[in-house]
Structure formats: structure tokens, C-alpha cells
Structure 1
Amino acid sequence: MTTHVAFLKVHKAGSTTMQNLFFRFGLKHNLNILLPKTRNYLHSADQKMPLKNGEHYDIFACHTVYEKEWFDSLLPADSVKIGIVREPVSRIISSACYYRDVFHVGYLKKIPRENFVHNLINYPSHYDPGFFSHTRNTMGKDFGFKSGIRRTQVKRYLDKLNSEFLLVLIMERFDESLVMMKRLLNWSLSDIIYLKTNSYKHNHIVLNDTEIAKLKSTNDNRYWHPEAFLRDCESG
């Protein structure tokens, strides 16, 4: 049974549900869970809650930006890395509504509420000009992509991530992903039972092909139709 796990908590991709699952596993097996001294984001080593001399952390499942050496320094050498991704269009819509209504993020609050998501997508230079934001290239930032990365470098970095992560879960295939994780980690069925957490309901929003093409042009990601995203994920 694998007990040393570093989970990359990706924003608005089912990661809080996974965080609770990992925390429960740690408590069940009397493991040391790495937590920041404040909030839910680990920026640096001095944020870590202290341990007794001779002890080490076993589970990490809080927000941070992935960087191999940083992750490797958090847990023992035999730890495994697990991440999660979500189909980008649904993630952007969910994130826009969530961070506007729950966290009252400034740039999202400035967008007219009528046709809110459509305005965000159709006028990115006005409403969302940065390379990274809550609604632009978020998964890439969490996985450690650098601002301004060239398209020719993306495949190379994805291959690097593929060699470093044991498993990347797919939110749209959540139950199937958990079964695979259970087998890889040699966990029990009770270890992967979950309750959905931090899910935010919003009005159903449908984007047309022109808007999806607009997203593709303003975000460096080639999976802009749910069917293409799932097909490529399932084909490995």
C-alpha cells in the first residue's frame, strides 16, 4: 500500500473532493499530513507546519505551483505524484462564475453580468489580458508551465510531466480515475469513497464554435471540445 502521495490540487477541477479523500486516508492510517501554517496554499518551505525531530510528511494535497524539485523536497523519496485535469471550457465557465460570486475577484466583477461568460471570452484583451488568471491558462500554471511558453516547448514539457506523475485523474471520468488510482496505490475500496465538495452551481452556459475558437486563440491549449479532450485523454 502506497502511503506517500503528493497531490497537485488544480483549481476548479474537483481537487477539493480529492484533497478531502487524501486527508481522510492520512487520518485513517495515522500519517503526517503536510499543511501550510495558514490557508490552503503552500508557497515556500517556511510555511510548513513543524514536525517532531526524525519525522517526515506522508501526504500533501494543498494548492501550490508544481515544480519537480519543490515537490520532491516535501515528502520521502518513494512518494508518488498525482494530478487532476478538467475539460478546459467547462473549467473556465465554472471558474469565472465561482470566483466572481464567491471570492468577488475584481476583474470578473467588472464584467457586465448580462452575457457574463460570453463577454469574458469575446473581449479578452479588455477583461482578461494576462497570460495567467483564474480563467486563463490556470491548469497550465498549476502544473508549472511558465508565462509566455512557446508552442514548440509545450509538448516537451508535457512529456516531462508524464514521466514525473504516476497518474493524472480526469474530472469527467472521476469514478474511473479513482478505481485506477486505487489499483496503482493498492488502496481499499473504502479509501476512495467520496462526497463531492466545493462544487458551485451556476446557470447552464453554452458556447458556440466561434467562442470556442476564440478561447483557443487566447489560451495555449488544443483541447477545446469536450469530445476531443476526453478522446485524447482516454487514448493516453
Structure 2
Amino acid sequence: MPKKVVLQDIGERHYKEVWDYQENLLKQSVLLKQQQIIPDNYLLFTEHFPVYTLGKNGKAENILINETDRKEKGVEYFHINRGGDITFHGKGQLVGYPVFDLDQFKTDLGWYLRSLEEIIILTMAEYGLHGERSAGETGVWIEPQTKGKERKICAMGIRCSRWVTMHGFAFNVNTDLSYFDHIIPCGIHDKKVTSLEKELGYAVSMEEVKEKVRKNFEKVFDAEFV
């Protein structure tokens, strides 16, 4: 039977608020598992106010903007507990945070990340775009094998505790890509970032993208949203 997942579209939020919310959901899930109670699975959809986040093992030198200029631009910054390096979140970017008990799915983080990538690849295909994986680099790319044309459209970074996940993916839909000029995205030099809007040449309905991602989530994870 499909696994039940609680879908919560929480709109545009500050990063720290949603980070704290995920942490609470994860702690609740771990506590229930310790009591041998099966926890609910959650998927949060959000857009963040402008923020740079650096993964736990990321390198601060990949932030190219100083603190004064960053604050003048109204961009927050957090060093957080997910994998990956530096990235940007902002309006026009669909951020998805699955808080999943992988004991109910498959206890394999590689499989989990490839599944998240597959959801974005399937969604892009519905817009006539060919999303791909890049060897050794998590996320979804366009033309990753063509030197000089590699561009990332979806970044990913997760944390997992007792097989319960948090953090997730950031899919550039109508994102202002100029914010990426002030960082080395994901710590990867000489590669660009892109968005659905840039690739298609027009702004895309965020609600339409959410619906497609939701449908592909159900397909890839054999899930049913409630």
C-alpha cells in the first residue's frame, strides 16, 4: 500500500523558522520510533526570504560577499547541519523538505537522494527539459557532461538521524539567479546555475510546478499525500 505523507505548503517563510520546525518534527519522529510507534512522514513546501546556507562541512571561503554587503542586500546567513556546501534560497525557488522515516521506505541514503533527483528530472521532462545527474555531485543538472555548459537547476542537501530525514531540495523555478553571483554554489567552481524560467524563456506558475512535483513524489516514493 502507498505510504501516507502529510503535505504542508507553508508559503514564504524565514529560513530559521522552518529549520526549527523540521528539527521538532525529526525529534518527535525519533522519539516515537524509540517507543516503537510508527511516525508520520511529512513533506514541507516553502519559499524562503533571501538566505545563504552553508552545510556542516562547507567552506566559508565559498561565500564571496562580506557581511556588511550581505546585510545591505537583506540576505540572511546560517551555518547549518545538512550535507553539502553553500547555496542560496529565495523567492521563486521551490524548496522541499521531506521529514521521512526511511524505515518505512528504504534505509539507503544513496537511494533516497537519487529518488529526490528523479522527482525533479521527471518534473523537468514535463516542461521539455532534460535533467541529468552529474557524477559525484548531488542534485540535478542540465548538460553536465558538456564543459562550459554545465548548469545546476536543483541543489540538494540532507541530514538523517535514526533514519529520519530533514532538509531536502531547492528547485530554481523563477529564482533571481543574481544572488548566486556572490557565492561559489555548492562549492563547485566554473559551473553555472539556472532556472526553469531561464531555460524556458518565460515565468512558470509555481502552483503548477508544485502540483507536478507532488505527483512525481507519489510516483517515485509510492506515496499518497494526506
Higher relative CO (CA 8 A, sep ≥ 6), structure 1 or 2?
1
Please state which structure has a larger fraction of its residues in helix: 1
Q: TM-score when scaled to structure 2?
A: 0.28
Please state which structure has a larger fraction of its residues in strand: 2
